[in-house]
Structure 1
Amino acid sequence: MNTYRDANQILDSIIIGAGQSGLAAAYYLKQLNRNFVVIDSNSEIGESWLKRWSSLKLFTPSQYNNLPGYDFPSPKGHYPNKYEVAEYLKMYAKKFEFTVLFNRTASAIKKEKGVFEIFCQDEIFYAQEVIVASGPFHIPFVPGFSKNVSNDVIQIHSKQYLNPDQLKEGNVCVVGAGDSGVQITKEIAETNRKVYLSCAENTFTTFPQEFLGKTLWWWLKISGLLSIRTGSFLGKYIQNRQQPIIGTDVKALLNKSNVFKVGLTTNYKDNKLHFQDTSTEVSNIIWATGYKPDFGMLKFPNILNVNGYPKNKRGVSEIYGLYFIGLPWMQTRGSATLGGVKKDAKYLFEYLKKQNLKPMKSTVQVDKKKEEVLEVVN
């Protein structure tokens, strides 16, 4: 891939994040002949997928995991694992020859004299447009009382979980019963350990990956559920409900003799993990408790909503030239998924095409002490 070197060049666009969302946006920027680069905090394409647990597979078969312009290279009906997804993203970036700069973490994004400044370690990038594609999952969330847990207990977040070999001998508590939590519980239960699954739910909504010879995603698509808009009555209703568990038979899991469902985890004291309904000693805790967004690099007032996500309308912010892609429910429930992001990317493409972006003068002069743009010059 090409290497970007001109520190004071004003790019047409810069994309923050080289995951599926950033690459989909890059595909369409190339159609617009934008002068752009993609920056990413990882050291290679697909690294964020490779860091996830070893047995991870997608819920969606390959035919529903296509980014624009290049189909997922697996047979129809195949459920790709994390290694196949990472390889697909690498192939995608290579095919379209995107300029991707690795090991760059955007710590601040500002706008001075009509030019965006993107601060990354000891570099500053300049661009007319910024597309933030850093994903929805940033800071692993664990409850505050986790600091009270004995040092003799291994505790990790699901983000760091790879396989049961990371755990010590003894029982395990998985805190959180979303898809990740139940999948990890199932995997650990198969090692014959005693596993506690801590969650608030008394009942679970579960969907099989296939039904009556068709994939779940076929049924969701044909029913129109994948196209429900975020602002619609039904869209708001779905967003406020517990997400269904896909592909794991939770009833069968909870019927295993070594799996025990307990209530919400409330505290750790007296060498025991306490739940709403009981307490027990544990040797390992896996916090499958989700993430908190971190968009602190956006140095604009009133840019975030009450949930900590950037305010936007289908990816377009109130700051001219600042856009987002890959956030949950930007348009539909598929907005943050591998197969769903292309619709958001296509909408952003159509929007940007109408902006009729004109090249700016080629470089900037910068006050190095204040790190501010002084003027745009020829």
Structure 2
Amino acid sequence: MTQQYGTIVIGGGQAGLATGYYLQKHDQDFVILDASERIGDAWRNRWDSLRVFTEARYNGLPGMSFPAPPHSFPTKDEVAGYLETYAARFDLPVELGVHVDELDRNGERFLVTAGDRQFEAENVVVAMASYQVPKVPDFANQLADDIVQLHSIDYRNPKQLQDGGVLVVGAGNSGAEISMDVADTHPTWLSGRDVGTVPYRPDSWFGRYIGEPFVMRVLFHQLFTTGNPIGRRLRPKMLSQTGPVVRVRPQDLAAAGIERVPRTVGVRDGRPMVGDDRVLDVANVIWCTGFRPDCSWLHLPVFGGEATPKEPVHDRGVIPDEPGLYFVGLFFLYGLTSSLLAGIGRDAQYVVEHIASRPRGTRSMPKSMPVSAGK
């Protein structure tokens, strides 16, 4: 039998839980579907030493502060535990182990298929990050079979590596952090262009009391949004390039004995070759080369914008061409905090207010957009 709901939220991470919080506040009939075995697994299943880049005081979802010292930087397991506690505290209806295979229309309603189960709803909120599938260059399969290859999504700790050198490909935040993690036990090379660093250390006095408050509260959350011209100009650039490294400084890499090398451009004799034609005789390669979107399960014409063809065409997460369909959690959905714990609540509130204002039983949009969550 097809299960009926007013709203289905696809994804039970921070975006889905924040959306559920506001749906509950508006007394909506809803369910949250998540493929994981346990709430928080998207965080729990990352490398062991991972810590968030923002202080705990900025990491609370709506209705519940993060339970840690305000100036601490929570571990990935602490974030996972917080999400699990959050769902339990507000008794959010999360169904785990439900992998969505298809999302399509069924007349005036949406049809969600997950294995042999089907769900129908007037509204669907796709609550997920911008990128889901690990990305590696095509020449990765030309590396010799005796080289251990891992993508950052599969890396946990140096024990997964064999003896010998490690090439970390990708010099953004993940690459910098993972190269520091392996440098104590392995000769390490970090490959990729220098993307720069933020102009302060987050754990310094300046970072805690001036840098982070200004960046998080003013720049990222208020100024860099699609609600003002500077944010609209910035957004396409941010979607197409790697942001600056937050925690690791060039001097930290040098002190750890990590050698910076140019971009990895190919393979020669089974070994990786970098941009200055050097071939590195390494035993391990860790690809910190990011992710690509995968919405092949979404059978609705919501993609294809000129500026960002791989992103859905939306207005603050509202899909104008498919009334009742929404996105929360995408990078720079509305502002630079849209994919962060610190900012996801604003987007979730806006979307839920839009849902609550829709005429029921039709494909109509509300006569006016909600404004209370626009700040």
- Normalised by the length of structure 2, the TM-score is 0.89
AA aligned opposite 2:296: G
Call closer, same or farther: CA 1:152–1:308 in 2, change over 3 Å: same
**Structure of larger gyration radius:** 1
Give the whole-Å Cα distance in 2 for the aligned partners of 1:40 and 1:202: 34
Deviation digits for residues 147-186 of structure 1 (CA, Å, limit 9, x no counterpart):
1111100000000000000000000000001111000011
| Residue 113 of structure 1, CA deviation | 1.4
* 1:121–1:206 Cα change, 3 Å: farther
The alignment partner of 2:111 has SS state of: strand
In 2, are the aligned partners of 1:206 and 1:250 still within 8 Å (CA)?
Answer: no
For the pair 1:337 / 2:340, whether they are aligned, the reply is yes
Letter in 1 for 2:286: I
Asked whether the 8 Å contact 1:263–1:275 carries over to 2, the reply is: yes
Larger CA deviation: 225-234 vs 86-95: 225-234
Structure-2 residue corresponding to 1:309: 311
- TM-score, normalising length: structure 1: 0.88
Partner of 1:187: 181
- Give the match for residue 77 of structure 1: 71
Call closer, same or farther: CA 1:198–1:110 in 2, change over 3 Å: same
Displacement, 1:353? 2.5
CA distance in 2, matches of 1:274, 1:72: 44
Match runs of 1:191-340 below 5 Å:
191=185, 193-201=186-194, 204-205=197-198, 207-215=200-208, 216-221=211-216, 223-227=218-222, 228-230=224-226, 232-235=228-231, 236-237=233-234, 239=238, 242-256=242-256, 258-277=257-276, 278-305=278-305, 306-318=308-320, 319-340=322-343
What is the percentage of aligned positions where both structures have the same residue? 32
Cα pair distance change 1:221/1:339, threshold 3 Å: closer
Q: Which amino acid aligns with 1:209?
A: P
* Structure with the largest fraction of strand: 1
Offset of residue 204 of structure 1: 4.8
**In structure 2, do the counterparts of structure 1 residues 301 and 221 end up closer, same or farther at CA, with 3 Å as the change threshold?**
closer
1:23-172 → structure 2 map (5 Å cutoff): 23-172=17-166
Give unmatched runs, 5+ long, in structure 2.
363-375
Contact kept in structure 1, 2:57 and 2:71, CA below 8 Å:
yes
Alpha carbons 1:294, 1:308 under 8 Å: kept: no
The Cα of 1:355 is off from its aligned counterpart by 1.5
Is the 1:171–1:283 Cα contact (8 Å) retained in structure 2? yes
Q: How many Å apart are 1:205 and its aligned residue?
A: 5.0
Question: Residues 207 and 244 of structure 1 are in contact (CA less than 8 Å); yes or no, is this contact kept in structure 2?
Answer: no
Residue type of the partner of 2:24?
Answer: K
Return the letter of the residue paired with 1:323: Y
What one-letter code is carried by the residue in structure 1 that aligns with 2:102? A
- Which residue of the partner structure matches residue 373 of structure 1? none
On the 8 A contact 1:199/1:264 being kept in 2, the answer is yes
Q: CA RMSD in A?
A: 2.0
The letter of the residue matching 1:314 is R
Summarize the Cα distance change of 1:142–1:307 in structure 2 as closer, same or farther, 3 Å threshold.
farther
Are the counterparts in 2 of residues 295 and 310 from structure 1 also a CA contact under 8 Å? no
Runs of 4+ in 1 over 4 A off after TM superposition: 202-206
Which residue is equivalent to 1:374? none
Deviates more, 1:331-340 or 1:297-306: 297-306
- Cα distance in 2 between the residues matched to 1:204 and 1:99: 41
Q: For the residues of structure 2 that align with 1:272 and 1:9, how far apart are their CA atoms? A: 53
> Residue 11 in 1 paired to residue 5 in 2?
yes
SS for the counterpart of 2:313 is coil
Q: Which secondary structure does the structure 2 equivalent of 1:314 belong to?
A: coil
Q: What letter matches 2:267 in structure 1?
A: Y
How has the CA–CA distance of structure 1 residues 16 and 223 changed in structure 2, closer, same or farther, with 3 Å as cutoff? closer
Q: Name 1:362's counterpart in structure 2.
A: none
What's the secondary structure of 2:104's corresponding residue? strand
Contact 1:62 1:78 survives alignment (8 Å) = yes
Offset of 1:104 from its aligned partner? Answer: 1.2
Q: 1:289 to 1:128 in 2, by over 3 A?
A: same
